Amino acid sequence: MVPAVPVENDSFLAACRGRTPARRPIWIMRQAGRYLPEYRAVRARVSFETLCRAPDLAAEVTVQPIERFDLDAAILFSDILTILDAFGIDVRFDPGPKIARPVRTPADVAALPEADLSACAYVYDAVGACVERLAGRVPLIGFAGAPLTVASYMIEGQGSRDFRHTKVLGWRDPEAFQHLLAQVARATAGYLERQVAAGAHALQVFESWGGALPPDVYRRIAWPHTRSVLEAALATGVPVVAFLRGGEGLLRAVAGDLPQGDLVIGIDWTVPMATAVSIVGPERVVQGNLDPMALFAPRGVLERLAGDVIAAAGPARGHVFNLGHGISKDTDPAQVAALVDYVHRS
């Protein structure tokens, strides 16, 4: 593994490792995106797919929020579905993802090739381009989707409210379902390792659709695959954030089986931070979990809500401030600047 480029602002990495940071670190899920006029200006010229596939442009957009705000980490501009290139699956964004030929049957699963991770070389190149452009200002977070979350898009062919096809495959053909999750998990481990080799200082694994299944079912059929991805990510030596979106139930279901090491638990906004800390235990570092809608509240209310999160995270080993899900595209950037400033002052 190439040693990562050292960073001037290491508050995020220190907090992730359970050390005392110079200040409380903050970054924002989807911090590079449509709420920024400079992002919309780039998108007026190129499609989202082109942006993800052009390392220089991806790096430009990754750094946009770092230029504008005093954030403590950058996250690679990409998508959790770019890994599908490794399986030869074509994804379009409109703006939500669409897959022409979903994976619905055991025959579809059997026909999937073993992942060719070189098909995602543009992602590792983008990591390298981001690290270069950041020039050691802040660390770069690489990322991937967790196996169930990625597989649900492969199976549904798009976003879903009810995850009907995913559940039907799981009930009708549990072996094919497990085979698919294991195959995605193996690919994801290699994909994350390559991002670290390209210079990523930390990794985040997004289990955005962990709430699709009842917590006990999630724990039995999906969590072992997510856990194996987290283990592989931790084995690279960088801190790893597991963003587990599935409410208090999901957190309770997996809390007793979290890997050891520099693992940060990303909390979704529906779980009160105090409850989350009591579930995962005070020896864990937590990330989150302000309601993204709080950025639409009057300044005083925004600060009170952010202050509540900070206070509730007090007993945890460490805290990385973030939203409890991605920032809305209608957010006023001035509110983000106010939040960043507030978090650093408190």
The 10 Å Cβ neighbour count of residue 107 is 10
Q: How far is the CB of 329 from ligand CP3 (least distance, A)?
A: 6
Within 8 A by CB and 6+ apart from 262, the residues are 16, 17, 18, 234, 238, 239, 240, 285
2 to 41: interface string for ligand CP3, x by CB under 6 A: ---------------------------xxxxxx-------
Does the protein bind ligand CP3 through residue 208 (CB under 6 A)? yes
Question: In whole angstroms, what is the distance from residue 30 CA to residue 204 CA?
Answer: 12
Specify whether 162 is catalytic: no
Six token digits for residue 200: 């990523």
Between 188 and 317, whose beta carbon lies closer to ligand CP3? 188
Question: Active site residue: 79, 191, 227, 268, which one?
Answer: 79
Tokens at residue 197, please?
């080799």
Catalytic, 79? Answer yes
Residues 271 and 234: beta-carbon distance below 8 Å: no
User: Has 10 been annotated as catalytic?
Assistant: no
Residue 17 annotated to the active site: no
Site for ligand CP3 in 93-132 (CB under 6 A): 93, 95-97
- Distance from C-alpha of 77 to C-alpha of 210, rounded to nearest angstrom: 22
Touching ligand CP3, residues 126-145 (CB under 6 A) = 143
Residue 282 carries which side chain, given as an amino acid letter? P
List the interface residues with ligand CP3, window 300-329 (CB under 6 A).
Answer: 326
Burial of 336 (0-12, 13-18, 19+ CB in 10 A): buried
Binding status of residue 163 toward ligand CP3 by CB under 6 A: no
Among residues 38, 48, 102, 132, the one that binds ligand CP3 under rule CB under 6 A: 48
Q: How far apart are CA 141 and CA 138, in angstroms?
A: 10
Chosen residue from 13, 36, 66, 80 binding ligand CP3 by CB under 6 A: 80
Phi, psi of 239 (to 5 degrees): -65, 150
Cβ 260 to ligand CP3 shortest distance, Å? 25
Question: Is 153 a catalytic site residue?
Answer: yes
Catalytic residues: 30, 34, 43, 79, 153
Enumerate binding residues for ligand CP3 (CB under 6 A). 29-34, 43, 48, 75, 77-81, 93, 95-97, 143, 159, 206, 208, 326
